[in-house]
Structure 1
């Protein structure tokens, strides 16, 4: 595992560790935004990055140069192999020195200039076991090719803290998640999850049995909206993970609309024949975005029907 540190890394004694994995992305823009808060953080925040097997020597060299110029304490890890979403984040925690860890995706952008200051104050004053800050699309570009994903995210994901708190374990995503060290030492991410999806929600289900999950409004924008084709591929990857979650937490998953839809589709004659039709409808650019989003949700439910 290759390491590169900023000048401030060695002497820092952080309270909060920001943990950022990435694969074939360049997190420079995110680092610049976080670094702007350095004067107000009083050396209490560090950043740990993990290049999870990109294998791009030029990107590594550029990032090492960027890290060397940052005021924040930053460590860049470059893994020769792809560890995956769960194992990669577990690996990041081994480098973290703070009492609290903020898992932050590389395609996120803080929505306020005091983003880290807000998290640091919460960690110091309330010392929460787990807290999720939410995410938005405020800074994400409006593009026709990602309009369906935008419609779906605005409907189900970009919700205020008071709404998320009604099902606290359901709205736990590693895009903007604060975790206390002792909690994670007991409940790490399940490394047996593979591909995309559900490993963070499943972690939230386990944690919610023992600790409260706080929901606040300190959002960051999700910049990485996907096309319908990419979303469909991710849903195809996630079906096995959904099955794993349903088997481990049947009483929780049974309350989810996606589970109920999957059960209904499974009982419908010919549901396997309808599945490619749902996907084909979602791909039709001539249809309104809400109709395409609805059909894509049906496609996801049809995939999950095989798991329930």
Structure 2
């Protein structure tokens, strides 16, 4: 019936597994819950090992870091049931009927369902504001693999691209491949809370890593302009020959923008400009290296 796959990294997944076991047992379904820490060497794994004591549940630890997508692929190879429910370890069902809602959806004969992500209404401390505001304003309307129900055969035919080993945009590429193969994602009202709020500085650093991933995917031809607003905006700037000017503006204002993003009133408009600016910067670095090599 249902294999629940939970990629873990430096997080206590035990409360989530407890809740899922309770809901699956209430539904009376055949299930398994497979969790796998991606070589985080975390002290949280002492608690995570308790998962192995539950019926139909297992907790594994990778010998080396695979990256989120490859970690999920690895879990999928271990799974035995016809449907996969992929959940991030720092999520938690918003409803007691979370599993039941997905079981009802399975009977509709579609292949992929996204239940949604929500954030708690309580405003966090200033150091976590950027992550919270971005999550509430952007992620709640996005389609992500942090709460995704998908048929096993569909996933195994179109797994995560394992060339993406760092944080960021593995979802974008995954959904791009599904779209190109004419699969549709059905969104239903079955959300999970996103619980783990990083500090704004950590989130900003991870965003830069994600943009580096996006640039790699763009340069390698794995995504198109239709897949990303950042890539689309970059292509427009390139067409009107404003890349160099845009990069100049970004470098001149980068520190000022970062101060805003770490403040008590972070602007998502500036955050968007920051991501585009960093993407432009990566392109200019590539061009500079190419010119340097050609002049040797």
* Superimposed CA distance per residue, residues 245-286 of structure 1 (whole angstroms, 9 cap, x where no aligned partner): 432232423xx4323443466615443343352354333489
Quick one: which of 248, 252, 257 aligns to 1:281?
257
Structure 2 residue matching 1:271: 3-state secondary structure:
helix
Quick one: which of 7, 13, 16 aligns to 1:30?
16
Could you tell me whether the CA contact under 8 Å between 1:140 and 1:222 is conserved in 2?
no
Alignment partner, residue 191 of structure 2: 219
Quick one: which of 17, 42, 61 aligns to 1:78?
61
Whether 1:153 and 2:131 are equivalent positions in the alignment is: no
Quick one: which of 231, 234, 238 aligns to 1:262?
234
Alignment of 1:169-180 (within 5 A): 171-180=142-151
Whether 1:193 and 2:180 are equivalent positions in the alignment is: no
Structure 2 residue matching 1:297: 3-state secondary structure:
helix
Whether 1:64 and 2:79 are equivalent positions in the alignment is: no
Quick one: which of 185, 189, 203 aligns to 1:231?
203
Give, in whole Å, the separation in 1 of the partners of 2:172 and 2:150. Answer: 14
Give, in whole Å, the separation in 2 of the partners of 1:290 and 1:145. Answer: 11
Quick one: which of 101, 109, 131 aligns to 1:118?
101
Change (3 A) 1:74 1:66: closer
Structure 2 residue matching 1:19: 3-state secondary structure:
strand
Could you tell me whether the CA contact under 8 Å between 1:17 and 1:98 is conserved in 2?
yes
Give, in whole Å, the separation in 1 of the partners of 2:216 and 2:243. Answer: 23
Could you tell me whether the CA contact under 8 Å between 1:140 and 1:221 is conserved in 2?
no
Whether 1:45 and 2:17 are equivalent positions in the alignment is: no
Higher helix share: 2
Change (3 A) 1:286 1:225: closer
Could you tell me whether the CA contact under 8 Å between 1:229 and 1:283 is conserved in 2?
no
TM-score (normalised: structure 1): 0.80
Give, in whole Å, the separation in 1 of the partners of 2:105 and 2:196. Answer: 27
Structure 1 residue matching 2:78: 3-state secondary structure:
coil
* Superimposed CA distance per residue, residues 168-207 of structure 1 (whole angstroms, 9 cap, x where no aligned partner): xxx4422101111111121111000121111111111111
**RMSD value over aligned CA atoms?**
2.5
Structure 2, unmatched stretches of 5+, are: 285-296
Structure 2 residue matching 1:89: 3-state secondary structure:
helix
Alignment partner, residue 240 of structure 1: 212
Change (3 A) 1:286 1:216: closer
TM-score (normalised: structure 2): 0.83
Give, in whole Å, the separation in 2 of the partners of 1:144 and 1:177. Answer: 31
**Which moves more between the two structures, 180-189 or 231-240?**
231-240
Deviation at 1:149, TM superposition (A): 2.1
Give, in whole Å, the separation in 1 of the partners of 2:155 and 2:70. Answer: 13
Could you tell me whether the CA contact under 8 Å between 1:139 and 1:223 is conserved in 2?
no
Give, in whole Å, the separation in 1 of the partners of 2:237 and 2:200. Answer: 21
Change (3 A) 1:280 1:303: same
Whether 1:302 and 2:288 are equivalent positions in the alignment is: no
* Superimposed CA distance per residue, residues 75-111 of structure 1 (whole angstroms, 9 cap, x where no aligned partner): 1111121111121110000111111101100000110
Aligned length: 276
Change (3 A) 1:270 1:223: same
Deviation at 1:141, TM superposition (A): 6.1
Structure 2 residue matching 1:36: 3-state secondary structure:
helix
Change (3 A) 1:229 1:61: closer
* Superimposed CA distance per residue, residues 200-233 of structure 1 (whole angstroms, 9 cap, x where no aligned partner): 1111111122222211111101112232211221
